[in-house]
Amino acid sequence: MNFKYLYGATVVVFAFAVVTVEPAYAQRRDGNLLPQDKSGQVTAVGCLVRGNTVRGGKADKYVLARPRTGPVASVTEASCTADPGADALTLDNPEKAAIKDSMLGRWVEITGRLESETSKDPDNLRELDVVSAKMVTVVPPPRAAAAAPPRQATPPPATASAAAEPRPTPAAAPQATAAPAASASAAPRSLPKTASNVPAIGLAALLALAGGFILRAFRLRQRG
């Protein structure tokens, strides 16, 4: 009875230890570049900050915060920051890559050897032995396209009645008439000369002949 009780208590304690220890070990702060029990050459991209800005860092050390596997072509942020609980790597021998304070708060790409870490303390930062480093190119995101100017309202299409309505014909311009010459209006109008003396002479002869016949007839009547 006592043995079973002791065995059960041991199992409970072991399970509790596994539950409490494993999450602490799982809280890796190295960006998952390599398993903690492995070391090797890596290329990491991150934000260069002072060690005292993150939890577990040292004030006299440079720290690569928010590390991720590189290389990368570019980033969109010109500057960067890190909160105290951010993932980070302690940089060893930064002078070999000419890392200096003017690079703080900028994105850098570092190649070096990442040391293994056997400690399960999440605040014990892994060390990256620097071989080379360079600034990462910053490419700002494209700006939104400028708003297009408002489009003017299109007039409605003409209806059939409007199309059938006759349009007024423009009045013709009055034409200038030439004024008659003053000399022509003032001169009297003359008839064409068509009369002749011949008809008058013929008429007189005819009347004389008729008078002769009448006179002869009158004399013959008196004699008889």
Mean pLDDT within 44-60: 95
Residue 1 placed within a domain: no
Strands 88-92 and 126-135: parallel
Mean pLDDT within 186-198: 58
Query: What's this model's pTM, rounded to 2 decimal places?
Result: 0.55
Do residues 82 and 65 make contact, with C-beta atoms less than 8 angstroms apart?
yes
Selected residue with higher pLDDT from 153 and 23: 153
The structural domain count of the chain equals 1
* Residues whose CB falls within 8 Å of the CB of residue 83, separated by 6 or more in sequence, listed in order: 54
Residue 216 placed within a domain: no
Q: Where are the beta strands (DSSP E) in 16-120?
A: 40-50, 62-69, 88-92, 107-114
Mean pLDDT within 166-174: 59
SS3 66: strand
Range of the domain at 49: 29-135
CA 221 to chain CA mean position, Å: 137
Residue 94 placed within a domain: yes
Residue 66 placed within a domain: yes
Among 40, 30, 58, 43, residue whose Cα is nearest residue 97? 43
Tell me the pLDDT tens digit for each residue of 87-115: 999 999 999 999 999 999 999 999 999 99
Residue 54 placed within a domain: yes
Which span out of 14-18, 158-162, 202-206 was modeled with the highest average pLDDT? Answer: 202-206
Residue 70 placed within a domain: yes
Residue 150 placed within a domain: no
CATH number where 84 lies: 2.40.50
Selected residue with higher pLDDT from 118 and 198: 118
Residue 117 placed within a domain: yes
